[in-house]
Amino acid sequence: MEFIVANFAPIMFAGLICFLLLGFPVAFSLGACGLFFGLVGIELGVFQSSVMAWLPQRLIGIMANDTLLAVPFFTLMGLILERSGMAEDLLDTVGQVFGPMRGGLALAVIFVGALLAATTGVVAASVISMGLISLPIMLRYGYDRRLTSGVIAASGTLAQIIPPSLVLIIMADQLGKSVGDMYKGAFLPGFMLMGLYVLYVVFLAIFKPTQVPALPPEARTFREPNGSGGYTSLVAITALSAVVAVFLARHMEAVHTWFQGEEVTFVATDEKVVVAMCGGVFVALVIALINKGLKLNLLSRLAERVTFVLIPPLLLIFLVLGTIFLGVATPTEGGAMGAMGALLMAWVRRRMSFTLLKQALGSTTRLSSFVMFILIGATVFSLVFQAADGPIWVEHLLTSLPGGPVGFLIAVNVLIFFLAFFLDYFELSFIVVPLLAPVAHKMGIDLIWFGVLLAVNMQTSFMHPPFGFALFFLRSVAPEKQYVDRVTQKVMEPVTTMQIYKGAVPFVLIQLTMVGVLIAFPQIVTGSLDKEVKVNLDDIGAQMRDSLKPEENEPPADPYGGAEESEPKVEVPGAEGAAPAAPASTPEPSAETGESDPMKAMQDALKTPPQKP
């Protein structure tokens, strides 16, 4: 028994692993493990029975957490957009734009994956949508099956790191940080990861062109009457939008100064990007509307199609991320506006129906309930684990690692990488992150950087063969048997599970490369955050003393707010009806301090001998 009492925390952690290996759902495994070891710990005297009395208050605190309201809002927004056909229109349009170049369809999938990530935040919706729409097209025109599977699954997982990501909301809650700061920190790494995917496709297009062929001329539908592709006007309107965006980005401080009415000398990079991008997009929209309304025929069919298909999701990005980054709305409020914007977009496109709304609300309820049950189970486990001094055990275990903070970060990321084979990002966020965060904070590691780093690493949990959820989502929509292509009428071979697994491996390596880049260059995350305002309490105290110090040849101000011309009249206590005392004379400066002595002035006014303290 003494051994169990002395090693209660590690035994409890090992017990949780056993519960999980038995195949029970994670939420119930956490709760059952916490309650079981809670009763055992009370019986063995490891901690007091009053520990379990804290549990109801913890659970009430979960239900009262406003931050978690953003989870159902963003989920509903993503599901409505996915079911309203936005992903299909985006993939069709962007595929036409990039189609003539080698690897163009793969680049279109990556670009649309980033757009869906910035508007939906749901991995399943992104992977399934792109798998249903783009997988048959890429197979039809001769793309390598492994690359096709890998690029679709990897692009869908961008929804986990590009705001408004659900995992970043959970991560911020577990780290005790602002969701807005977490979004700002993850903004640049998310698009850098997308850039690495693009570089990989470009590399294949140069050195292995047979794996990523260009779209044939007969597949390019948006052509002008004279047979041209219409790229001239598209390039012109894109260049004009880019000029406006760059101008806004370079003069963002002046724009803020004009808008707020006071001088602004610094604007975060992520805020510049979002606002500048939306400014350029707005200019393109105005030009397209004027061209269509006045029938000027300045834009080609392709340019008009691109403008009217890309503008709505980009404006929704500004509605959600822009208001959060600008400080106008909280993430919860931004999620509510995003859900409302998605409903309006579906209604305007005449794709809003009761069936669609019912399906979206049902899926949102299931996912939100899943998150809440895991959080409740994790709260039960963590309460008992903390009572058994589990965090101290974890701290001693991790702080003894060689290499200091860098060694700690490497070891933690290796641990997360292997745990991600068996646990998804929700489970890792609720089980592992609360144990690691106190140690990271004690080592002086910025928790926003730490959270974004873990989020990028947890992204590999979707891509791990053979347990990656993105691979399962893609497997559910990929053809398992031979089929006849509806356009070419050719017999197409199925996509095997092993091809999906092999296609995921290069993108897992790219994600791990991004983890190493973030460890080596933390300013990629921290540079996007608002500068911390440092307050020197000594300077503030000196200013207060200076403001209270009377000027030379000026009597001290009445601390009770009396008028200067009124003479203070003080009555001697206990002498009713006595004549008022003479006006108090201005006290002489103290010989020791050189300043007026208020105690001496009061004693002189009362005409009483000094009292001993």
Q: Each residue of 22-38: pLDDT tens digit?
A: 877 888 888 889 899 99
Confidence of residue 206 (pLDDT cuts 50, 70, 90): very high
Highest mean pLDDT (candidates 96-100, 203-207, 362-366, 400-404) = 203-207
Residue that is written with structure tokens 């003069």 in the block = 251
Q: Is residue 110 within 8 Å of 120, Cβ to Cβ?
A: no
Q: What pLDDT shows up at residue 449?
A: 92
CB atoms within 10 A of CB 226: 6
Judged against a pLDDT cut of 70, whether residue 95 lies above it is answered with yes
Spatial separation of the C-alpha atoms in residues 100 and 326, rounded to whole Å? 39
Q: Which of 197-201, 255-259, 330-334, 549-553 has the lowest mean pLDDT?
A: 549-553
Tens of pLDDT, residue by residue over 377-420, are 888 888 888 888 888 888 888 877 787 888 889 889 888 888 87
Q: Is residue 269 within 8 Å of 339, Cβ to Cβ?
A: no
Residue that is written with structure tokens 């990005």 in the block = 317
CB-hemisphere CA count at 13 Å for 532? 5
State the DSSP code for 320. Answer: I
Spatial separation of the C-alpha atoms in residues 23 and 94, rounded to whole Å? 43
Mean pLDDT over residues 151-177, rounded?
Answer: 87
CA distance to 150, 201, 202, 453, 512, per residue, from 506 (Å): 8, 11, 14, 19, 10
Average pLDDT, the chain: 80
Regarding predicted confidence, which is higher, 224 or 298? 298
Confidence of residue 517 (pLDDT cuts 50, 70, 90): very high
Instruction: 137-142: list long-range contacts, CB under 8 Å, 24+ apart.
Output: 137/95, 137/105, 138/105, 138/106, 138/109, 139/485, 139/492, 139/495, 140/485, 140/487, 140/488, 140/492, 141/105, 141/213, 141/215, 141/216, 141/219, 142/210, 142/213
Residue that is written with structure tokens 């993108």 in the block = 507
Judged against a pLDDT cut of 70, whether residue 327 lies above it is answered with yes
Return the ∠ at Cα 364 (arms to 59 and 32), rounded to 5°: 35
Judged against a pLDDT cut of 50, whether residue 578 lies above it is answered with no
Mean pLDDT over residues 159-183, rounded?
Answer: 86
- AA letter at 480: E
Q: Is residue 42 within 8 Å of 51, Cβ to Cβ?
A: yes
Confidence of residue 528 (pLDDT cuts 50, 70, 90): low
CB atoms within 10 A of CB 247: 14
Spatial separation of the C-alpha atoms in residues 441 and 434, rounded to whole Å? 11
Spatial separation of the C-alpha atoms in residues 542 and 536, rounded to whole Å? 10
- AA letter at 553: N
Spatial separation of the C-alpha atoms in residues 212 and 208, rounded to whole Å? 7
Confidence of residue 511 (pLDDT cuts 50, 70, 90): very high
Q: Is residue 194 within 8 Å of 339, Cβ to Cβ?
A: no
Q: What pLDDT shows up at residue 72?
A: 87
Q: What pLDDT shows up at residue 120?
A: 64
Q: Is 63 helix (H, G, I), strand (E, B) or coil?
A: helix
Q: What pLDDT shows up at residue 600?
A: 52
Spatial separation of the C-alpha atoms in residues 477 and 286, rounded to whole Å? 39
Q: Which of 167-176, 439-448, 535-544 has the lowest mean pLDDT?
A: 535-544
State the DSSP code for 430. Answer: H
Q: What pLDDT shows up at residue 594?
A: 43
Confidence of residue 607 (pLDDT cuts 50, 70, 90): very low
How big is the chain, counted in residues? 613
Regarding predicted confidence, which is higher, 592 or 396? 396
Confidence of residue 533 (pLDDT cuts 50, 70, 90): low
What distance lies between CA 403 and its chain's CA centroid?
A: 29
Torsion of CA 427, 154, 173, 61, to 10 degrees: -50
Q: What pLDDT shows up at residue 151?
A: 93
Mean pLDDT over residues 261-281, rounded?
Answer: 80
Spatial separation of the C-alpha atoms in residues 271 and 249, rounded to whole Å? 9
Judged against a pLDDT cut of 80, whether residue 107 lies above it is answered with yes
Q: What pLDDT shows up at residue 19?
A: 82
Q: Which of 211-225, 298-312, 360-374, 559-573 has the lowest mean pLDDT?
A: 559-573
Confidence of residue 81 (pLDDT cuts 50, 70, 90): confident
Name the β-bridge partners of 483: 492
Closest CA to 160 of 192, 131, 117: 117
Regarding predicted confidence, which is higher, 200 or 87? 200
State the DSSP code for 410. Answer: H
Q: Is residue 103 within 8 Å of 205, Cβ to Cβ?
A: yes
Confidence of residue 469 (pLDDT cuts 50, 70, 90): confident
Mean pLDDT over residues 533-544, rounded?
Answer: 66
Residue 454 structure tokens: 């873990």
